[in-house]
Amino acid sequence: MSLINGPNFKQVEDITRRFESSYFDGSIDYKGSIYHVMQGQIVRFGSDFVLHHRDYSDAAIPKAIDAVYLQFESGFKSIGADKPTLSDYNSGSLWRIRLDGMRDPIYFQVNRFLVSYSDRLNVNKSITAASVIVTHDDGYSRTNGSGMSVVPTDP
């Protein structure tokens, strides 16, 4: 699934992860099965994993740059750097700007803002996603791997 701007990763994943029919335990290099019931019927989803990719528009990136610049304005001034632009972001110039006391280049700060940013405060609840219940997984990871389970264990 690809998005431009839109809801953030967590908002999307809260819906899409219900439709994954597999899990992966990297400690034993094992892909296991997840089983579901939807509206009272046993179902098998064809997608092992639901992947998302999010791009950012030329309108969203300057907002992130503005927020980062506002937060670290004194740091930019102390190294004699101007406020970055959309062109700086797109050209990769932000990889070269490191503020005093910061390990990562400013590009990471801008991306952190973009990743957490959502263009909507509330995401409508999906009736379809709400009707999907994970009943169990194959249990192999719990007995032979890292002990992971996709089944919620909330008390």
List the domain boundaries for the chain: 2-54+120-138, 58-116
| C-beta of residue 34 within 8 angstroms of C-beta of residue 23 | yes
Q: 17 with 67: CB under 8 angstroms?
A: no
pLDDT, tens only, 28-42: 999 999 999 998 899
Q: What is the pTM of this model?
A: 0.69
Share of the chain above pLDDT 70, in %: 97
Q: Tell me: the pLDDT tens digits for 35-77?
A: 999 988 999 888 888 888 889 999 999 999 999 999 999 999 9
User: Exposure pattern of 78-113 as b/e (b: 16+ CB <10 Å)?
Assistant: eeebeebeeebbeeeebeebbbeeeeebbbebbbeb
- pLDDT tens, position by position, 7-35: 888 888 888 888 889 999 999 999 999 99
- What letter would DSSP give residue 100? T
Q: pLDDT of 82-91, one tens digit each?
A: 999 999 999 9
CA distance 52 to 89: 22
